[in-house]
């Protein structure tokens, strides 16, 4: 479960809505890390790992074994684009566009380690917002958002109505079963607990082969569910959604938000 944190300096201007010439300014009272460092990662496996651990973070038993200490963000072997995806909760790297190759490609990776002032009170979202400010400050990063309509899907309620169980837990989590995230076309399983429907849409957008998605179910609760499918032996994911959850994916154009990194500098030594 990848998450993040931040060190939001007063008055930093974030270039947003560039087409309109508008900008956003980080609030001057934004919380910051008590301590934070960003340094080049040493040569190694070069596979981004880690995240941020807030008081409301939920981990599977496997994830818990390698989770950062409470109130800390520890992310290793991450390109700047990886850090952006964690801090802003961007589901797919394809939605991040950047200029210089080192931002999203190449061998330059970084190790981030940061601690909240009071680890016993920092939520996951607060840590993510702190990470946003830290990246803007240390990488002197300017960015904006662009929205485009692209082929995707809308998740809607199937003919016979939803078949979802209202959850009794307030914090959501999910896993892909014992075999992990399935490759496109392979058998798969999703087990969700305490999830909003938008979380299911995001999961399906990430690997379902249907492009980005939007939630048009009108369902507002938290739900537990299990979805099993097999594209070869059946049921396909479309049939499984309909028969097991009472939902369906309808192909249509949907708005997609792109995160455009206009410029960034390599961070100076801490």
Q: Residues 118-134: pLDDT tens digits?
A: 999 999 999 999 999 99
Contacts of 114 (CB under 8 A, 6+ apart): 5, 7, 33, 35, 36, 37, 72, 73, 74, 130, 131, 134
Q: What is the structure's pLDDT at 19?
A: 30
Could you tell me the pTM of the whole model?
A: 0.73
Of residues 3 and 72, more confidence is placed in: 72
189-247 confidence digits (pLDDT tens): 999 988 999 989 988 987 767 889 999 999 999 999 999 999 889 999 999 999 999 99
How does the average pLDDT of the chain come out, rounded? 84
3-state secondary structure 71-130: CEEEEEEECHHHHHHHHCCCCCHHHEEECCHHHHCCCCCEEEEEEECCCCCCCHHHHHHH
Q: What does the domain layout of the chain look like in residue ranges?
A: 13-139, 149-255
Contacts of 168 (CB under 8 A, 6+ apart): none
Q: What is the structure's pLDDT at 270?
A: 64
């Amino acid at each position: 479960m990848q998450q993040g944190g931040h060190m939001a300096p007063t008055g930093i201007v974030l270039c947003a809505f560039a087409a309109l010439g508008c900008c956003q300014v980080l609030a001057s009272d934004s919380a910051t890390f008590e301590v934070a460092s960003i340094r080049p990662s040493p040569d190694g496996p070069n596979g981004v790992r880690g995240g941020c651990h807030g008081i409301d973070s939920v981990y599977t038993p496997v994830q818990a074994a390698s989770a950062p200490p409470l109130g800390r963000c520890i992310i290793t072997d991450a390109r700047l684009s990886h850090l952006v995806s964690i801090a802003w909760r961007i589901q797919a790297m394809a939605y991040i566009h950047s200029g210089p190759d080192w931002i999203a490609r190449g061998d330059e990776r970084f190790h981030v380690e940061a601690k909240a002032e009071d680890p016993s009170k920092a939520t996951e979202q607060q840590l993510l917002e702190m990470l946003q400010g830290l990246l803007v400050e240390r990488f002197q990063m300017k960015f904006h958002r662009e929205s485009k309509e692209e082929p995707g899907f809308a998740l809607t309620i199937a003919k016979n109505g939803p078949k979802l169980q209202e959850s009794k837990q307030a914090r959501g989590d999910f896993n892909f079963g014992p075999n992990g995230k399935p490759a496109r076309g392979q058998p798969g399983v999703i087990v969700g607990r305490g999830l909003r429907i938008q979380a299911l849409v995001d999961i399906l957008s990430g690997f379902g082969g249907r492009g980005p998605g939007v939630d048009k179910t009108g369902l507002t609760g938290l739900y537990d569910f299990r979805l099993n499918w097999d594209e070869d032996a059946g049921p396909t994911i479309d049939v499984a959604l309909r028969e097991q959850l009472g939902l369906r994916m309808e192909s249509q154009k949907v708005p997609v938000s792109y995160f455009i990194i206009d410029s960034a500098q390599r961070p100076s030594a801490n």
